[in-house]
Chain A
Amino acid sequence: MSAVELTKKQQKALDKAMDRGGNFTNPFEKRSKNKWRRSPLYLLTVVMIAPYYWMITSSFKSVKELQEVPPTVYPKNWISGNYYDKNFDPMQFQQDVIQGLFQRYPDIKFGFFRFMYNSVFVNISITILTLFIGSLAAYVVAKHRFRGKRAIYLTIIGSMMIPWQVGLIPGFLLVDDFGWLNTYWAYIIPALPKAFIVFFLVQYLSSIPDELIEAARIDGAREFTIYWRIVLPLLKPALVAMMIFTAIGEWNNFLWPLIIVQTQDMANLPVALAFLRNTGAGNIGSQGVIMAASLITSIPTILLFFLTQKHFIRGIALSGLK
């Protein structure tokens, strides 16, 4: 830059642009003097937050307040009756008292906690196992030479082009044939082979030099030891990103669980939520309980996102820009 003589006008334009923090791309930058320029953005932000705000506040409103027209924006009293109401008595009809979320499902052991357990157990199992078998396969595909490797890798990549609903019905029949309907097996096993994870990890591994692995091989290390001691630590950033993706995706999974669940006690949180909605659909008084369940379903993934934000965003950028 210093080698070029800039005219005064050019220098001025450059300085002016630099004053805005070097942000040269924004086509709206001309209007930056106006302090109201971002007000539409803040209006949009309100639209973004409103559903969350409504979910939280409504879950703490009383049945009476929920029925008010127009609805109250801020709860008059924060009550926890939608979660657990001490005054609730199943033996008699009570006005303005509702069966709290954790008092429902008397036939299911642990009530609503059972759905939370189902979701957590299934999620952890899938995430660990899918990453384990996926990274094993990715290591072999990226760093071994063997017959049929190209065909296998192409099949894995090709399968990502097919929408997963194509295999939905035979998958259901298969799980039925195995006698797995309404069990954790049906949740976990079919969810394990994830083509995208292998694809992503192979891409990531191909940027790691072979020398490291070859050196270990020459030193006489066994293949699994190489995988465990060398490849896994190298893969860590990619595995973290995939872990977050898998965990959040599986937590919010709905259509497959909806099909394989036959008794309510095997539902995961999204399916339990849909069942809950279907039983009390029109009744405005039960909306508080539904919002309470929605909140409980939403919190874990949001929390995971906040805890792992950096890895998460980097993972999206990585997988999108390959």
Chain B
Amino acid sequence: MSSPMFADSKKYAPSKRTGFRKFSEAGLSTYLMLSPFALLFIVFAVYPVLASLRLSFMRYNAICNPDQSPCGSVGFGNYQYLIMDDSRFHKALLNTTLYVIGSVIMGMIASLTLALVLQEDTRSNRVLRVIFFLPSVTSGIAIVLVWGWVFRGDDIGLLNALFNFVGLPTVEWLATPSLAIPILIFMAMWGGAGFGMVLFLAGLNSIPAMYYEAAVIDGAGPRERFRYITLPLLRPVMVYVGITGTIGAFQIFEGVYLLFPTSVGSIGGFKDMALMIVPYLYDMGFNKFRLGYASAIAWILFGIIFAISMINLKLTRSLEDLR
């Protein structure tokens, strides 16, 4: 910056007039360069969100025939029915909540443990890191199809074959309601732990070694060092992994869609045991064509995610203020 090359340009930079000149000079090209993104963003990102808000207060379907299936405003009707009366939606909310809590907490623990165990930069650790990370770049559908085989209810299912081998009885994995959420949580951990691990590894490597050296000299054991250095300094990464993990988990779709179909045109498995928010939204919108109702579900999803993000941010801020 202090090189003679830029010494001249400094003369022009600080004055107010240059600021104005920069504005007027860059004017047309500014808007020309911004416009491709801006136009597409308005049409395909901003408009759909606003339109979805409008739809969520309407009865709306693909046909809108005034005689058979009229469209029109219903006020808060969709929301009211969803929150007060729709037992399938309540089931979906409950299932999703259990799934999110389970997969985020266990996923965080798994990711952090993996990062700690594989932190040392040895050759075997590098190979193991890649193996644990692979699911993050593999097609979710392809993997779900393998899981479908693993959890088959008959003797050809892999887990049942293993069970039979050690003398345990065959289990109808995907038809047992109490197992649906644990299976989906297991799949989420298998698929997501490696991604969290990479973030935690980056966080661990950014902690200066001198803190640990000082702690060793002061006689702190490994447990104290973990508790008083590693954990507090990893908090920003934990918040990030926690928020992104929660948002991602709320949007689960593929596993439910492929592993728990009840019949054509419906979703969620026997007694809706694996019904979740986004699959229910899909079912309402694209199987039953209740587009207004489905939009209301989408906005409730947004409300939940927004509230959780805000609480999480507030919580970490107040924790930081305490220190």
Residue interface bits B24-64, CB-to-A below 8 A is 1, else 0 = 01110111011011101101111111011001000000000
Using A214-B9, A284-B156 as known contacts, say yes or no to A170 and B117 having CB atoms under 8 A apart: no
Secondary structure dominating the interface of B: helix
Residues in A with CB closer than 8 Å to B199 are: 316-317, 320-321
A152 CA to B45 CA, complexed, in Å: 13
Residue interface bits A176-209, CB-to-B below 8 A is 1, else 0 = 0000000000000110110100100000000001
Flag whether B212 is at the interface (Cβ < 8 A): yes
Using A70-B165, A168-B285, A215-B5 as known contacts, say yes or no to A14 and B142 having CB atoms under 8 A apart: no
Flag whether A43 is at the interface (Cβ < 8 A): no
A169 CA to B294 CA, complexed, in Å: 8
Minimal beta-carbon separation of A317 from chain B (angstroms)? 4
> Judging by beta carbons under 8 Å apart, are B1 and A170 in contact?
no
A270 CA to B165 CA, complexed, in Å: 34
Flag whether B19 is at the interface (Cβ < 8 A): yes
Chain B contact residue count (CB 8 A cutoff):
113
Flag whether A3 is at the interface (Cβ < 8 A): no
Chain A positions 108-130 with a Cβ under 8 Å from a chain B Cβ: none
> Judging by beta carbons under 8 Å apart, are B198 and A317 in contact?
yes
Chain A contact residue count (CB 8 A cutoff):
105
A22 CA to B27 CA, complexed, in Å: 55
Other 9 A-B pairs with CB < 8 A, given A136-B37, A217-B25, A317-B198: A49-B131, A139-B33, A145-B19, A163-B305, A169-B291, A223-B26, A291-B146, A294-B139, A316-B198
Residues of A within 8 A of B (CB): 1, 6, 9-10, 13-14, 17, 21-30, 38, 41, 45, 47-49, 51-52, 54-55, 58, 67, 69-71, 133-134, 136-137, 139-141, 144-146, 152, 155-156, 159, 161-163, 165-174, 189-190, 192-193, 195, 198, 209, 211, 214-215, 217-218, 222-224, 227, 248, 251-252, 254-255, 259, 269-270, 273-274, 277, 284, 287, 290-291, 293-295, 297-298, 301-302, 304-305, 309, 313, 316-317, 320-321
What would be 27 A-B contacts, judged by CB atoms less than 8 Å apart? A10-B217, A38-B117, A48-B132, A49-B131, A67-B156, A69-B161, A71-B156, A136-B37, A137-B37, A139-B33, A140-B30, A146-B31, A156-B41, A159-B45, A163-B301, A165-B301, A174-B44, A193-B45, A209-B1, A217-B25, A218-B12, A223-B26, A227-B33, A298-B143, A305-B133, A305-B137, A321-B237
